[in-house]
């Protein structure tokens, strides 16, 4: 049951929402609403996590008119890369 194993590993080691959000943002601009759907959390929870990430210097918000994108900083990309490594190691088990 690899799927169940992966879920249990995620539960054991990670805060799943922030870990998934940063992994999903790797190398891409995203809307918060799209991210929220991708990681299966509410829009407001997703925005709260993104604001915390901004405080830690991991993301920037880009505003163009009414459109607001979120994008990883260099530090954010580093963590996203390592986090992807964690998920890949979960997949192997």
Calpha distance 85→61 (Å, rounded): 25
Which one among 25, 39, 50, 53 touches a copy of itself, defined by CB under 8 A? Answer: 53
Which one among 24, 26, 54, 81 touches a copy of itself, defined by CB under 8 A? Answer: 81
Q: Is 59 in the site for a copy of itself (CB under 8 A)?
A: no
Token pair for 22: 């940063």
Q: Is 2 in the site for a copy of itself (CB under 8 A)?
A: no
**Tokens 């805060």 belong to which residue?**
15
Calpha distance 65→54 (Å, rounded): 20
CB 69 within 8 A of CB 51: no
Residues that bind a copy of itself (CB under 8 A): 5, 8-9, 12-15, 18-19, 22, 52-53, 56-57, 75, 78-79, 81-83, 85-86, 88-90, 92-93
């Amino acid at each position: 049951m690899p799927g169940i194993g992966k879920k249990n590993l995620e539960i054991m080691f990670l805060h799943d929402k922030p870990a998934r959000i940063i992994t999903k943002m790797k190398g891409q601009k995203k809307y918060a609403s799209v991210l929220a759907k991708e990681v299966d959390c509410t829009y407001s929870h997703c925005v709260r996590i993104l604001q915390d990430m901004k405080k830690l210097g991991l993301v920037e918000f880009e505003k163009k008119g009414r459109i607001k994108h979120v994008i990883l900083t260099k530090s954010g990309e580093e963590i996203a890369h390592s986090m992807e490594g964690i998920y890949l190691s979960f997949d192997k088990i």
